Structure 1
Amino acid sequence: MPRRPTPTSGCCSRATAATPATRPREGRWSSPATGAARTCSARPTAAPTTTPRWSAASWRRSGWPASSPAASSVRWPAATTCTASPPRSSPSPADRLRRVSTPAALPVGIDDVRAARELLTGISRETPLQGLRGLSDAVGGPVLLKCENLQRTGSFKIRGAYVRIARLSAAERAHGVVAASAGNHAQGVALAASLLGCPSTVFMPESAPLPKVAATKGYGAQVRHAGHTVDEALLAAHAFAAETGAVLIHPFDHVDVVAGQGTVGLEIVEQCPDVRTVVVCTGGGGLVAGIAVAVKALLPDVRIVAAQAEGAAAYGPSLAAGSPVALDTMPSAIVDI
């Protein structure tokens, strides 16, 4: 009996990772040329109104579609296993802002992630799953990318940043927020703060990419350069917070940020109920922690794999030690956080 293909989903936060995307100014997005048609084996025929589900059964039946029109021109026929995500009820604003109590052993639980998703309604996008033919053929089963490069600001960071800032008190927001980042978290914090009417200051390394510096300023943040690494910029952000009373929005080390990033996991489960392995790009661990909470709560047998660059692999030793372990050296400009 042939082995059942095991769908694999990966989180892609950059347009250069297999799915090139055109990212104009905020609010004027265009779909990439490949689109999201490969998330289902059936040939698309018209435009979608909802994000489809993906099933391994359809992949086994006919493989990837021969063509991949843009997502804006795709509709999934009723004969396939692709269906709309189930509707969600709309809680009151107070319910959206409250933190959900979780067992002492878990700082963040599935209810926290669900509450974060409701808070993000109308803010973040439900991004598509995109099939990768080459990798799928190589492993003998479907491999999909969760295209967070199509998210607002170009990465998943808006999810956690918005949840964190939205749950600050009015008095805290009045003092403003501060962050440190080489680009992605910077843009997420800048946009989230602007949407919530909160002043923001972002410390960026001198080597930060100029387009991301410009985008961060464009979203409304005051940008200051400090040091040559994100760690040095973070030290400057801590000092600024202590001096001004601004609230530090850490890129990963906060329960609200983890809950916000976990909404990616909820979408993966809804879009691909047959998922068996989720591979997550891992830096500080906020994304993989949130995804693990969401996916494991709903599909306990799914394997979660945290992938780090070999030259920056601090997560494994840190887990083994039970506390963060600093690396002696790390190549510069591996990723932008």
Structure 2
Amino acid sequence: MRRTGSSARVPTAEAGIAPSRVEPTATRYRTRTLQIIVLLGLVVVSCALSLCIGAKPIPLDAVWHALVTPSGLEDDMIVRDLRVPRTVIGALVGAALGLAGALTQGHTRNPIADPGILGITHGAGLAIVLATYSLGITDLHSFIWFGFAGAALGALTVFAVGSAGRGGPTPLTLVLAGAAISALLQAITFAIVLLDQRSLDAFRFWKVGSIAVAGMPLVVQVLPFLVIGLALGLAGASGLNALALGEDVARSLGHSVERVRVLGIAAITVLVGASVAVCGPIGFVGLIVPHAVRLVTGPDHRWILPFSALAGAILVLLTDTVGRIVARPGEIEVGVMLALIGAPFFVVLVRRRKLVRV
């Protein structure tokens, strides 16, 4: 009788366990979905503020009029020709840098890693300086292509050097190779700009980091790269979760570590290469955004990556808007503002006792 009673209780116990396992997952999914909706709303609000606030404040109804039924008014021209391209590129670049930062920290398993550590930023800077020095190119539209090519070459060099050993690309070899290659690229860049005034002027303009792009044609030119990079980055979430458990565990789960690494490096290269080529090296987004996001999402990259993209867009747009307010009628470039805001914010994050680890 005891055996019968025991076996009769097993299905009841299993039935009782199943809902307790399913319910938290469903609740968590609903919570994350709601949080993404909130972030999307904040992106819309940030875009609206970016369109309304500047050297000349423009009311929201005037902005709407300029977007829907434009005329030859000064406000319409300011909104459509200046602020719309700036807002679009700010949202795209912020999303790209936030996602690239999460990917970089995930692949290197280094919580203080930044996209620039893979040689991308300094590769783009060197290519732009070489284009100016050797070819006399000073056009911003041409800078995009040279900057992107340099960023890709820098990342490929780091990946090749980091993969040279028997173990292939590992977090440690990628970080060490990135630090060495970045230092070399930066040294060559400084050597060139010290020899040529024109290269120095171009490099100085690019180095400050700004989303004040010259019209929609430039946005259209860089848009395909950013969209492709965002798609590649978001597609690698499951593989990145497996890598977080260790390469041996990832292989046992059926993931190709090499393929996941290549996909991740490709996404980081496209995202950061396109961003730094059009806007210059905008720092701190890829460093602080993933940390702030992990405090909400935990270690699951399926949520970290989209959250980081949306939070990066919000951070860049709001920081750029603040830069237009504090120095009115002039402005402080977003790269400078992010350094002023990002440095103390990151110090606060690091000092938190419960800082979430990668």
Q: TM-score range by the shorter chain?
A: under 0.3
With a CA cutoff of 8 Å and minimum separation of 6, indicate the structure with the bigger relative contact order: 2
Q: TM-score, normalised by structure 1?
A: 0.26
Larger fraction in strand: 1
TM-score by length of structure 2 reads 0.25
Larger Rg: 2
Bigger helix fraction: 2
